Amino acid sequence: MSASNSPLSRFIESMNIDYEKWHDGVGYDLEALKEANDKDREAIENILVNRNPPDWRDIEALAFLDTPGAHSALKVALLGRNYEVNMAVLHYAPEHVDDELRTRLIIEALKSASFDDGLSITLDVVEKYHPKEVVSELFHGLLYREGEVAVHFAATLFIIYGISETYFDEVNRSFLLKFNVGKLSERKIVFQEFCEKINVDCEEYFKHNHI
């Protein structure tokens, strides 16, 4: 095998992210990482742990490496206030985060993250992990976050409550899009209809949010 086609070189080449890879959410070449020998895996680990700041691709690869050094790097990554990185750790290496920290990080992301900095992966995590504090924050976002975000929060809650089996299914899509309004008075009307559909008392959330 030529050096240019070795697992190490293939992995390093895959770290060059162009617009197409960025847009399509393509990660690093994990197959090359799987094929790498111990020496090459050590070299790759050294590259990854020194990435500053890391992104979700680095987190995915570190979780795949599953070495003591990678585990340490994952814990260090959680110290930064990067929603996408934090959620990537919860997604790819959930065993390294206890429930208290997991819940806190998710709530922080639901409060402030945008689709450019980790909200999509946050909602992926929430579909599988949604204690009452997380669910409450989703309801809060239905009322107060941007319309586009509220639409996705509603879609996530429909899955949590068993109304939908898939994200934005055709049956419910048109209703979910009603959340894309800016006025609180209009959002409140849709919120009430939403709560009726999932059999939840909306007055408790209005009281909690001082509406």
Query: pLDDT per residue over 84-115, tens digit each?
Result: 999 999 999 999 999 999 999 999 999 999 99
Query: What pLDDT sits at residue 111?
Result: 97
Domain assignment of residue 120, yes or no: no
The number of folded domains in the chain is 2
134 and 73 in one domain?
Answer: no
Domain assignment of residue 144, yes or no: yes
Domain assignment of residue 104, yes or no: no
CB 73 within 8 A of CB 49: yes
Q: What is the DSSP letter of 145?
A: S
Return the sign of the alpha-carbon dihedral for residues 66, 9, 40, 36: positive
Domain assignment of residue 28, yes or no: yes
| Domain-ending residue, one of 98, 116, 140 | 98
Among residues 119, 65, 66, the alpha carbon closest in space to that of 88 is found at 119
CA distances from 100 to 81, 131, 138, 197, 207 (A): 17, 10, 18, 30, 26
Among residues 140, 132, 155, the alpha carbon closest in space to that of 211 is found at 140
Domain assignment of residue 81, yes or no: yes
Domain assignment of residue 108, yes or no: no
Query: Can you tell me the distance from the alpha carbon of 106 to that of 94, in angstroms, rounded to the nearest whole number?
Result: 12
Domain assignment of residue 136, yes or no: yes
CA distances from 194 to 17, 23, 159 (A): 40, 32, 13
Query: Can you tell me the distance from the alpha carbon of 17 to that of 51, in angstroms, rounded to the nearest whole number?
Result: 14
Query: What pLDDT sits at residue 138?
Result: 97
What confidence tens digit (pLDDT) does each residue in 77-87 have? 998 889 999 99
Burial class (CB in 10 A: 0-12, 13-18, 19+), 23: exposed
Low-confidence ranges of the chain (pLDDT < 50): 2, 210-211
Find tokens 């909602």 and name the residue.
Answer: 123
Query: Can you tell me the distance from the alpha carbon of 143 to that of 121, in angstroms, rounded to the nearest whole number?
Result: 21
Query: What pLDDT sits at residue 210?
Result: 47
pTM over 0.75? The answer is: yes
Query: What pLDDT sits at residue 182?
Result: 85
Residue 16: which domain range? 1-98
Query: Can you tell me the distance from the alpha carbon of 172 to that of 130, in angstroms, rounded to the nearest whole number?
Result: 21
| Domain-ending residue, one of 98, 121, 140 | 98
Among residues 70, 69, 114, 113, the alpha carbon closest in space to that of 89 is found at 70
Query: What pLDDT sits at residue 173?
Result: 94
Structure tokens at 147: 């319309």
